[in-house]
Amino acid sequence: MGHDITLTASDQFQLGAYRAEPASPPKGAIVVIQEIFGVNHHIRSVCDRVAAEGYVAVAPSIFDRIERNFQCGYSPDEVAVARKFVASPDWPAMLRDTQAAIDSVKGLGPIGIVGFCLGGSVAFSAATKLDGLKAAVGYYGGAVVRFAGETPKAPTMLHFGEKDSGIPLTDVETIRTKRPDVELYVYPGAQHGFSCDERASYDKPSADIAWQRTFAFFAKHLMS
């Protein structure tokens, strides 16, 4: 359903991306932001699912500035390697590359963004800083609490797992307190990565509910 493309950021850096097209004329477009594992098999499958919902999906390779086309799985060794990419994240660069993805789908209708893990934090930050978005959704973004003092320019939804060992519920409550304008859900018993069906932490009931909420949210806010 999808294919690889090249994007050009505002500083002329060229990065890869995966783009999936719906079978019928698109309702709009959704930018999909990766976890720390790159634009891998899972993120590509997410794009394909987004396209099946009727939207053009594009997932920029936001690690291309460090290592082009980095992709990996979820074994302990692979997780250790992937974590090195976010030891000192370059947020402005990731946002430039996210803006390039947004710009690449202008003219296709309203644009949303959804991100997972690292991408959840990027999606929230994009909602506060970038142009062209009509809605934003973040899944278990650990850095969202750092950015929670900033106001999203578009309607925003956040998903967290109750048992996420990397994101304490105190952080989630801080976000809820600072951002009463954000629609926020906590999934009982769910761990970090609960939406990824290739990870041991996958929680299908929580993932299904979060997906339904996400696309009801997009259906509401991505209106021409």
User: What are the domain boundaries of the chain?
Assistant: 2-221
Say which residue the tokens 């460090």 belong to.
66
CA distance 25 to 153: 27
> To the nearest whole number, what is the mean pLDDT of the chain?
97
Query: Which CATH fold topology does 2-221 show?
Result: Rossmann fold (3.40.50)
Q: At what angle do helices 118-129 and 91-104 cross, to 10 degrees?
A: 70
User: How large is the average pLDDT for residues 41-59?
Assistant: 98
Residue type, 59: A
Which residues are within 8 A (CB) of 54 and not within 5 positions of it... i.e. 6 or more apart? Answer: 22, 24, 26, 27
Residue type, 120: G
Classified as helix, coil or strand, 66 is coil
What's the whole-model pTM score? 0.97
Residue 187, Ramachandran bin (φ over 0: left; ψ between -120 and 50: alpha; else beta): beta
Distances (CA, A) of 24 to 17, 27, 51, 84, 135: 22, 9, 9, 40, 22
Catalytic (active-site) positions: 117, 164, 192
Per residue in 123-163, pLDDT tens?
999 999 999 999 999 999 999 999 999 999 999 999 999 99
Q: How far apart are the first and last CA of the chain?
A: 25
User: How large is the average pLDDT for residues 97-118?
Assistant: 97
Whole-number pLDDT of residue 224: 55
Whole-number pLDDT of residue 223: 81
Whole-number pLDDT of residue 51: 98
